[in-house]
Structure 1
Amino acid sequence: MDILPHQNIRVQLPNQLPSITTKNLVLRPLADSDAEDLFAIRSRSEVAKTNHPKTPHRSVAETREWMATKIFVEGAEHLIGRHFTYILIEIKDRDHHDDQPRSGDGRVIGYVGINEVYPSPEIGYSIHPDYWGKGYATEALNALLKLWWSLPRQGQDDNLVEETDSVFAICEKSNLGSGKVLSKCGFRVLREMTFEDDGGLDELFIWQLERPV
């Protein structure tokens, strides 16, 4: 049984995802060269306990295998083989004259993206524990969602787009920090459920955010 409702995804992804700059971050499309930086995040026990499965990565090779799962293999044919995942780079300094970021050459502090598009788009993100509490997850997720909603949809000019155009997130009820991020980004709890895995029972919230009108 799928945890998320089924949704016909008509979003059109560009051939090359654009980078995104926010106040404190540069969001750059995921690349294989990011494996070591992401391993430094996914190998942390604090991060693992909020993800599925809850086992920290033990090698960069394992992180690369996880990165490969971000490529869509199910869903609409026009999305197969693509991804919508970004790494987060902290901006180190700014031009003091116009407050524009000079570059995103700081530390890789996390990632954010659409984990899958089938049966519905599901959000995923993690921040390195050293950067928790700074609002970076909210800042990054808001930027990602803004781009996702702005992408063209098939049939958007001839009334073929279905009414349902939402993204979802699955979060443990006990993960108050992530719940706060989702709430700030406009998500609302759709339902609660219990999910059984090898580690026992997880009490989950299923969050939903509808495309702004």
Structure 2
Amino acid sequence: MTVLTTDRLILRDWTDDPADLARIYDIYSRPEITRWLAVSPDLPMTDPAQAVERLRFWRDRHADDGGRYGTWAIEVRETGLVAGTVLLKPLPGTPETELTEDIETGWHLHPDSWGHGYATEAARALLAREFATGTSEIYALVSPGNDPSMAVARRLGMTHVGERSDWYGGELLETFVRRSTDA
């Protein structure tokens, strides 16, 4: 199901189509991607079957969100290539099983899709849609040292507000925020 479209991109649900599952595995088996993600015992993936579990996890996590939140594929309109993932979701607190009222956006792109502006374009569309619902601020959390993701956050008009550890079970993360009044 298509969630949003931009000039160059289609943001859509990940599916259990073999091509989508292969791309999920290809993205989330790469240490150059997973080293920046919040600590997860199943990353990097080591078996293609883990893509099925990851897709199930995403679906279960967002089953009751009515499409407002999600973890979506970023498909390039011109080629059909899935560049990566974009997400919008309530942030997990400490402990991680408890969701906060704070909302996060994020992006995980395959290296073959870096440097094309896809993360910025996809996240910008999600931010605009979410701000239209009345949300007052959205966060991007970036692992220290992940300069490319920090640059995306800045291109989105987000302001660096320092390191915080009150989400994801206390992991220290660089925090960026964009307020609806910044638009």
CA contact (8 A) 1:72 1:116 kept: no
1:81 positional shift = 9.3
Query: Which residue among 35, 41, 44 is the counterpart of 2:30?
Result: 44
In structure 2, do the counterparts of structure 1 residues 18 and 89 end up closer, same or farther at CA, with 3 Å as the change threshold? closer
CA contact (8 A) 2:2 2:10 kept: no
The one-letter amino acid of 2:57's match is T
Confirm or deny that 1:91 pairs with 2:77. yes
Query: Which residue among 45, 50, 70 is the counterpart of 2:58?
Result: 70
Confirm or deny that 1:108 pairs with 2:90. no
Distance 2:121 2:27 in 1: 18
Bigger drift between 21-30 and 59-68 goes to 59-68
Bigger drift between 129-138 and 80-89 goes to 80-89
CA contact (8 A) 2:88 2:126 kept: no
The one-letter amino acid of 1:206's match is T
Query: Which residue among 159, 171, 174 is the counterpart of 2:142?
Result: 171
Q: Comparing both structures, which one devotes a greater share of its residues to strand?
A: 2
1:21 positional shift = 2.1
CA contact (8 A) 2:158 2:176 kept: yes
TM-score for both structures, normalised by structure 2: 0.75
Aligned residue for 2:121, secondary structure, equals helix
For residues 28-75 of structure 1, give each alpha carbon's deviation from its aligned partner in whole angstroms, at most 9, with x where no partner exists: 12333332221111111211112123731112332333333335759x
TM-score for both structures, normalised by structure 1: 0.66
Query: Which residue among 13, 22, 40 is the counterpart of 2:6?
Result: 22
- Which segments of 5 or more consecutive residues in structure 2 lack a partner in the other structure? 92-98
1:18 positional shift = 4.6
- Which segments of 5 or more consecutive residues in structure 1 lack a partner in the other structure? 1-16, 93-104, 154-163
Query: Which residue among 112, 118, 130 is the counterpart of 1:148?
Result: 130
Work out which of the two has the higher radius of gyration on C-alpha atoms and give 1 or 2. 1
Aligned residue for 2:24, secondary structure, equals helix
Confirm or deny that 1:208 pairs with 2:174. no
Matching residue of 2:151: 180
Aligned residue for 1:146, secondary structure, equals helix
The one-letter amino acid of 1:128's match is H
Aligned residue for 1:31, secondary structure, equals coil
Aligned residue for 2:58, secondary structure, equals coil
What is the number of residues matched between the two proteins? 168
CA contact (8 A) 1:70 1:83 kept: no
Distance 2:145 2:172 in 1: 8
Q: Comparing both structures, which one devotes a greater share of its residues to helix?
A: 2
